[in-house]
Structure 1
Amino acid sequence: MRDFEKPTRSVAVSRHAMAATSHPSATLTALQVMQAGGNAMDAAIAACAVQCVVEPGSTGIGGDCFALYAPDGSDQVIAYNGSGRTPAALTADWFDERGLTEVPRQSPAAVTIPGAIDAWTRLHADHGGLPFADLLAPAIRFAEEGYAITPRVHRDWSLEQKLLAADATAARIFLPGGTAPKIGEVHRQPELARTLKRIAAEGRVAFYEGPVAEEIVSYLNSLGGLHTLDDFANARGEYVTPVTTDFRGYTVHECPPNGQGIIALLILNILNRFHAEGDPQSPDRLHVEIEATRLAYAARDAWIADPDKADVPVDHLLSDELADRLAGMIDLSNALTDLPPFEMPLHRDTVYISVVDRNRNSVSFINSTFDSFGTGLVSPRSGVILHNRGQSFSLKPGHPNRIGPSKRPLHTIIPGMVTRNGRVEMSFGVMGGYYQALGHAHLISKVLDYGMDLQEAINLPRLMPTSDGTRVETEHKIDAATKAELERRGFTFSPADEPIGGAQAIRIDWENGTLTGASEPRKDGIALGI
Structure 2
Amino acid sequence: MRNFQLPGRSTAHGVNGMAAASTPLATLAAIDVLRRGGNAIDAAITASAVLCVVEPHMTGIGGDCFCLIGRADGSVTGLNGSGRAAMAADRDWLAGAGLEGGIPSDSPHAVTVPGAIDAWDVLLRDHGTIGLADALGPAIALARDGFAVTPRVARDWAGLVDKIDGDEGARQHLLLDGRAPQAGEIMHFPALSRTLETIARDGRDAFYEGAIAEEIVTLLAARGGRLTMEDFARTAASYVTPIATGFADHAVDEIPPNGHGITALIGLNVLERFDMARFAPDSPERYHLQTEAMRRAYMLRNRYVADPDHADVPVEALLSAETADRLAGEIDLARTMPANPLELAPTGTDTIYLTVVDKDRTAVSFINSVFAGFGSGIVTPRTGIALQNRGCGFVTDPAHPNCIGPGKRPMHTIIPALVRRDGRVILSYGVMGGQYQPMGHVHVALNTLVYGMDVQEALDFPRSFHDDGALILEDGVPAATREALAAMGHTVKAADAPLGGGQAIAIDRARGTLVGGSDPRKDGQALGY
Same fold (TM over 0.5): yes
1:312 aligns with 2:295: no
Q: Structure 1 residues 172, 338: CA separation in 2 closer, same or farther (over 3 Å shift)?
A: closer
Q: Give the letter for the 1:262 counterpart.
A: I
Q: Give the letter for the 1:360 counterpart.
A: R
Contact 1:45 1:120 in 2 (8 A): yes
Aligned to 2:494: 495
In the alignment, the residues of structure 1 paired with residue 476 and residue 151 of structure 2 have an alpha-carbon distance, to the nearest angstrom, of 21
- Mapping 1:66-215, distance limit 5 Å: 66-71=66-71, 73-100=72-99, 101-215=101-215
Give the stretch that moved more between structures: 219-228 or 299-308.
219-228
In the alignment, the residues of structure 2 paired with residue 451 and residue 342 of structure 1 have an alpha-carbon distance, to the nearest angstrom, of 31
Deviation at 1:404, TM superposition (A): 1.1
In the alignment, the residues of structure 1 paired with residue 441 and residue 407 of structure 2 have an alpha-carbon distance, to the nearest angstrom, of 29
What SS class does the counterpart of residue 434 from structure 2 fall into? coil
Contact 2:346 2:468 in 1 (8 A): no
Deviation at 1:429, TM superposition (A): 0.6
Contact 1:118 1:237 in 2 (8 A): yes
Deviation at 1:92, TM superposition (A): 4.8
Q: Structure 1 residues 46, 523: CA separation in 2 closer, same or farther (over 3 Å shift)?
A: same
Deviation at 1:405, TM superposition (A): 1.3
Contact 2:473 2:493 in 1 (8 A): yes
1:426 aligns with 2:460: no
Q: Give the letter for the 1:103 counterpart.
A: I
In the alignment, the residues of structure 2 paired with residue 216 and residue 396 of structure 1 have an alpha-carbon distance, to the nearest angstrom, of 27
Deviation at 1:423, TM superposition (A): 1.6
In the alignment, the residues of structure 2 paired with residue 439 and residue 472 of structure 1 have an alpha-carbon distance, to the nearest angstrom, of 14
Cα RMSD (Å) of the superposition? Answer: 1.2
Aligned to 1:281: 282
What SS class does the counterpart of residue 508 from structure 1 fall into? strand
Percent identical: 52
Contact 2:376 2:389 in 1 (8 A): yes
Contact 2:298 2:344 in 1 (8 A): no
- Mapping 1:41-60, distance limit 5 Å: 41-60=41-60
Aligned to 2:258: 258
Deviation at 1:280, TM superposition (A): 0.6
In the alignment, the residues of structure 2 paired with residue 142 and residue 265 of structure 1 have an alpha-carbon distance, to the nearest angstrom, of 38
Deviation at 1:340, TM superposition (A): 5.8
Contact 2:257 2:308 in 1 (8 A): yes
1:232-264 C-alpha deviation (Å, 9 max, x unpaired): 000111000000111111111100000001111
Deviation at 1:496, TM superposition (A): 2.3
Contact 1:12 1:527 in 2 (8 A): yes
Contact 2:18 2:528 in 1 (8 A): yes
What SS class does the counterpart of residue 310 from structure 2 fall into? coil
Q: Give the letter for the 2:338 counterpart.
A: T
Deviation at 1:75, TM superposition (A): 1.6
In the alignment, the residues of structure 2 paired with residue 280 and residue 74 of structure 1 have an alpha-carbon distance, to the nearest angstrom, of 33
In the alignment, the residues of structure 2 paired with residue 336 and residue 218 of structure 1 have an alpha-carbon distance, to the nearest angstrom, of 49
Deviation at 1:3, TM superposition (A): 1.0
What SS class does the counterpart of residue 382 from structure 2 fall into? coil
Give the stretch that moved more between structures: 101-110 or 503-512.
101-110
What SS class does the counterpart of residue 338 from structure 2 fall into? coil
Q: Give the letter for the 1:173 counterpart.
A: H
1:407-434 C-alpha deviation (Å, 9 max, x unpaired): 1110000000011223210111110011
Contact 2:20 2:525 in 1 (8 A): yes
1:517 aligns with 2:516: yes
In the alignment, the residues of structure 1 paired with residue 221 and residue 480 of structure 2 have an alpha-carbon distance, to the nearest angstrom, of 55
- Mapping 1:426-465, distance limit 5 Å: 426-465=427-466
In the alignment, the residues of structure 2 paired with residue 189 and residue 412 of structure 1 have an alpha-carbon distance, to the nearest angstrom, of 28
Aligned to 1:391: 392
What SS class does the counterpart of residue 385 from structure 1 fall into? coil
1:387-412 C-alpha deviation (Å, 9 max, x unpaired): 00001111123111111111111000
In the alignment, the residues of structure 2 paired with residue 377 and residue 180 of structure 1 have an alpha-carbon distance, to the nearest angstrom, of 16
Contact 2:12 2:528 in 1 (8 A): yes
Contact 1:436 1:501 in 2 (8 A): yes
Deviation at 1:338, TM superposition (A): 6.5
1:88-125 C-alpha deviation (Å, 9 max, x unpaired): 00135534424331111112110000000010000000
Contact 1:291 1:336 in 2 (8 A): yes
In the alignment, the residues of structure 1 paired with residue 195 and residue 91 of structure 2 have an alpha-carbon distance, to the nearest angstrom, of 33
In the alignment, the residues of structure 1 paired with residue 64 and residue 369 of structure 2 have an alpha-carbon distance, to the nearest angstrom, of 6
In the alignment, the residues of structure 2 paired with residue 264 and residue 179 of structure 1 have an alpha-carbon distance, to the nearest angstrom, of 38
Contact 2:41 2:127 in 1 (8 A): yes
Q: Structure 1 residues 245, 434: CA separation in 2 closer, same or farther (over 3 Å shift)?
A: same
What SS class does the counterpart of residue 377 from structure 1 fall into? coil
Contact 1:277 1:450 in 2 (8 A): no
Aligned to 2:506: 507
What SS class does the counterpart of residue 184 from structure 1 fall into? coil
What SS class does the counterpart of residue 368 from structure 1 fall into? strand
In the alignment, the residues of structure 2 paired with residue 167 and residue 194 of structure 1 have an alpha-carbon distance, to the nearest angstrom, of 21
1:417 aligns with 2:418: yes
